[in-house]
Amino acid sequence: MKPARTPDQQRPMRADARRNYDRLVATARVAFQEQGADASLDDIAKRAGVGSGTLYRHFPHRDALLAAVIGDSIDALHARSRELLATDDPAAALEAWMRATITHAGTYRGLAATLMSSMYDEGSPLHSSCKRAHAAGAELLKRAQESDRVRPEVDAADLFRLITAVAWAAEQSPESEDTAERLLPLVFDGLRTTGTARQARQAKPAPQD
């Protein structure tokens, strides 16, 4: 079992506390995979062999447990966005980031909904993760817009909403597994400047690039 991440700014935990923390995170990961992000917390505590009070001591809200479980994945997503910012094609980079984010938001059933509401809930432990993803998307979006490949009126908040909505639609469509792969190109094309509009802009006296 790989070591679970330690909660922030913490002096060493007592051995039994540490063990319970790790067990809870590992058990929760399995439970979320099996039953979705709204799996029973009581059941997770039982399966981890821990009193329910112990779960709430370490993770006061469901979001805190979820944050501990997906923390590594959020970090990886953020690293990927840094890579994509350094690639050549701004539009392709944005689309690749959208695809990666949709995949991430589809890790567990119900995760997309949690991420969406965390975006607007400053108290949630997932809020900072959402804002980081939001900020990464904003950078990639800005670059694509400056190179005149994406409509200037689209903002990062709507980009985040669209991504989360596609992830949500995909997780709600059990019978067709590749829903996200089909919807993403459609949605991405809606963001792009239309051929004629882009041509008109580029035909203007002062060329931008």
Partner DNA sequence: ACCTGAACACCGTTCAAGT
Q: Which does 41 bind (CB under 5 to 8 A by kind): DNA, a copy of itself, none?
A: DNA
Q: Which does 38 bind (CB under 5 to 8 A by kind): DNA, a copy of itself, none?
A: DNA
Residue 193 as a binder of DNA (CB under 7 A): the answer is: no
Closest to a copy of itself by CB, 161 or 201: 161
Which parts of 172-206 fold into alpha helices (H)? 179-191, 195-202
Closest to a copy of itself by CB, 13 or 187: 187
Question: Do 137 and 160 contact (CB within 8 A), yes or no?
Answer: yes
| Nearest in space to 126 (alpha carbons), one of 135, 138, 117 | 117
Q: How far apart are the C-alpha atoms of 22 and 1, rounded to whole Å? A: 9
Q: Least distance to DNA from the beta carbon of 8, Å?
A: 14
DSSP 65-86: HHHHHHHHHHHHHHHHHHHHHT
Q: Where do contacts with a copy of itself occur on this chain (CB under 8 A)?
A: 113, 116-117, 120, 151, 154, 157-158, 161-162, 164-166, 168-169, 172-176, 179, 182-183, 185-191, 194-197
Q: Count H helices, E strands: the chain?
A: 10, 0
The conformation of residue 6, written as its DSSP 8-state character, comes to P
Q: Which does 176 bind (CB under 5 to 8 A by kind): a copy of itself, DNA, none?
A: a copy of itself
Interface contacts to DNA, rule CB under 7 A: 13-14, 16-17, 20, 38, 40-43, 49-54, 56-58, 60-62
